[in-house]
Amino acid sequence: MNIRCIIVDDEPLALNKLKRNILKFPYLELVASCHSAEAAKKALETNDIDLVYIDINMPDVNGMDFIRSLKNPPMVIFVTAYSEYAVESYKVNAVDYLLKPYSSEDFKRTAEKAYRHWNLLHKNASSTDFSEEKVLYLKCDYRFLRVVCDDIVFIEGQNEYLKIHQVSGVPFLTHMTFRQIMESLPGNFIQVHRSYIINMKHMVSAERTQVIMDNGVQIPVSDTRRSVLLQYMNSAKSAVMGIYDATSATEAPTKEIRSEGDISS
């Protein structure tokens, strides 16, 4: 599921720059480019929008005033050439702000922050029970970090340490063995290489010698571990097909597991 967003700026060059940056991120879906607050209002009324990138200084209406006028505003990131607006932007619960002229790294920071915020909102909204999510407490230096298992994309072995790569945030090292952490992880984690454990919930495709995760990282698959990966995918596929067979033929499976060619050969 993508973050549906609109961009709002009265300057065509600034609007095009926002568009180019948004297209770099697969989890951002650009729904509309708006040259005015009025156009943005229409886009919000006719679409389900999760995120707005909006310029503050526009001739028809101030971008901050426009957001304040919305009854249920989506996430917002303000774009401005004036740093004095930064504090004011957080008073309307802005996720972040972009200070013009901004770099690709500046935009990336705001996109990742919006992604983390959206994930948090999405998890809270979709939670219909009070069951606890699977959590690990991993030691990092002289403290323990609370890590939600679903947020782990993959785990990388580095000598006597494990490097934990999550959906967001900087990877960190913890002093553990693969065997120790595998005993605590749920069944959707499998070791595909002597140096890698992956979370199958974050795998998007599999080839004979590698898998690709949803953050774009390619993880090698060893010959000795390929059968474990294949077994997991076959069992998951069977479960999905079982659900599909039990429903009407017009309904699609809830999730497709895509593989590139035959990974068993």
Domain boundary among 70, 100, 126: 126
Residue ranges making up the domain that contains 204 = 135-246
Residue 263 counted as domain residue: no
Q: pLDDT of 15-34, one tens digit each?
A: 999 999 999 998 899 999 99
Same domain for 108 and 8: yes
The CATH number linked to 66 is 3.40.50.2300
Burial 82-109 (b: 16+ CB within 10 A, else e): eeebeeebeeeebbbbbebebeeebbee
Q: Which residue reads 């998951």 in tokens?
A: 236
Domain boundary among 126, 152, 186: 126
Same domain for 141 and 80: no
User: Regarding predicted confidence, which is higher, 243 or 56?
Assistant: 56
Same domain for 150 and 112: no
Measured at the alpha carbon of residue 201, what is the angle toward residues 145 and 212, in degrees to the nearest 5? Answer: 100
Round to whole Å and give the CA distance between 99 and 106.
8
Residue 103 counted as domain residue: yes
% of the chain with per-residue pLDDT over 90: 49
Round to whole Å and give the CA distance between 181 and 162.
9
Which amino acid makes up residue 182? Answer: M
Round to whole Å and give the CA distance between 162 and 109.
26
pLDDT at 168 over 90: no
% of the chain with per-residue pLDDT over 70: 80
> Directed axis angle between helix 12-22 and helix 104-126, to 10°?
60
Domain boundary among 126, 147, 164: 126
The number of distinct structural domains making up the chain is 2
Same domain for 185 and 219: yes
Same domain for 121 and 8: yes
pLDDT at 192 over 90: yes
pLDDT at 263 over 90: no
Round to the nearest angstrom and report the end-to-end CA distance of the chain: 32
Same domain for 63 and 17: yes
Same domain for 230 and 142: yes
